[in-house]
Structure 1
């Protein structure tokens, strides 16, 4: 497939073409020319889109697709199509399946399901067998099979010694440990952030301390062992400060924040709508603003959709009983454009590749063509008809989004929304 992308504004702070509108010529999956007014040729398709912007391919560090075991929620094939149409060239797949992805064969299986897709899939292996927090899983074998990191999705590791051993063990092969932070004993039976809203609604609260105490413990362990730790979906001001201080001390720690924690607050819970039941829970506006500050000052390295499809049987029930999670790939960029500048969004949607050792490709001549196509203009209200996922549990239904992803060019394939 030979293509010429016309009048595309490149957003890439490391490119000499940053913020310039140029044409991009792609031959057999390679960028062969970048410049003004590239002449049209007989064997090339011309791609012209309104207010076209192009950046390095976006990477999502936390998605769930259900397969194997929960194909009713989502399949790998459709999930990767959703990711492509949402602007993501690469996604890291959580091990939250049935069975849990905790061995070499499971990693090979999900990779086989993703073969020939436009969006590249990068499996995260479970840190413990069955994600039960009792025994270390087959980390080295999984990395050899293609796993990019190890963590138990949305499960805290109560056994501090087990995390210590894992951090020490993975250093032999430069592995990355993902340490979800929520003390289950302090969380108790809480379902929302402990504060004014939980009191008003009569819902059991989760103290911010449940996250912060676990992060403090995990950072102490990291300081003792060395190695690399990634803390996913941080959600409190104190959490950000703890990580900021750890980075200043030279610890090899990174972290992410979810789109919904940057955009929404716990005020949306007023109608007990379970679409807003997520983990960590949504917080008050002052904390939301502190998280944005953490993004802007570089403490927070990655923004993730934390995409988690759940079918209606798991969401349409009493608030206390409903499962945590929201789909988020389709809305990630448009929601973020309401709270952050475009260049910051692109930086946080691409910077995670280095952390997870995912191949990254510059937008320059003779480089592999792997990029996201999007526009920063136009507002639209997100409706159920806009959801591409099999499950419809979006926390952004009815929200006004700004700009949108057109699609991607990756792995020699062009995917553009109709």
Structure 2
């Protein structure tokens, strides 16, 4: 705890949030908890956002949110004064040295399907820097926590999630970002992708393809998608394919947009339009677990499975928690898509089973529960 904080003290009504540590600035769990506190006026709570970009600062200011540039003196001041600091995996734009004495709420980035790729050296650096560990760790269920801890044997995230957590600090409330799936959340012009931008009004079926990162390795979609046959399939079924790659993924050249195929910017907040997707194609992305709440078909397309095992690897529980077919080539993918489009859904029961394991609540009230738990 800093000398300033010791002298002045922290204000339990101030909650400080910051940009997610990527191009997805105003997104993930911290965004939706921030908006919940702002919208519902919870007991005069004062949520404050710290923005790294000028554009985000101006956009949020115009909407009436209390926001300050992340590198400003006010940002440091309110971080030192905040009673509560919610984070997603890491501190983002928050100066971590200013957080001593605050209640830190670790909400995580997403339920993992990938293996941890960080080294013990990474973990040592975090142990040295993370002297103020989380007071609460948020999970969607006790089974989810077990799944997490299998992943977090070591690494950067382990420092923020596990270090210093004592008995009773894990809370099973669910994740604020899934509130946006269950509830209607207004899109913000200049930040979010809305339905009109997706151009899906005339489509009977909307398919989303969300491949995850490849640790600096590219993924040439032209080698795993037959664009001509995909286009034919989409037109025949009045379907639209939305492709949203991970922000760190180079998808190669040649995937051109058309009336049936649309590329979504990798920094777009997926939770603003996830409800528009009827069938999800993914591989090892945590978006799968969020999509489970919609109870719709999921296809796991893993044509580079053996290579990915060498690049990073999958969670040891991967095969036990996926609720959908895993296909390894384009022919199998197209066959599975045709089956789903024609109404065949062989994994409905399996989805229910996995959803019940990972989510104690699926009611869109995760933000409310987190707030009530930590101030109780």
Name the TM-score, length of structure 2 as normaliser: 0.30
Higher relative helix content: 2
Higher relative strand content: 1
Highest RCO, 1 vs 2 (Cα 8 Å, sep ≥ 6): 1
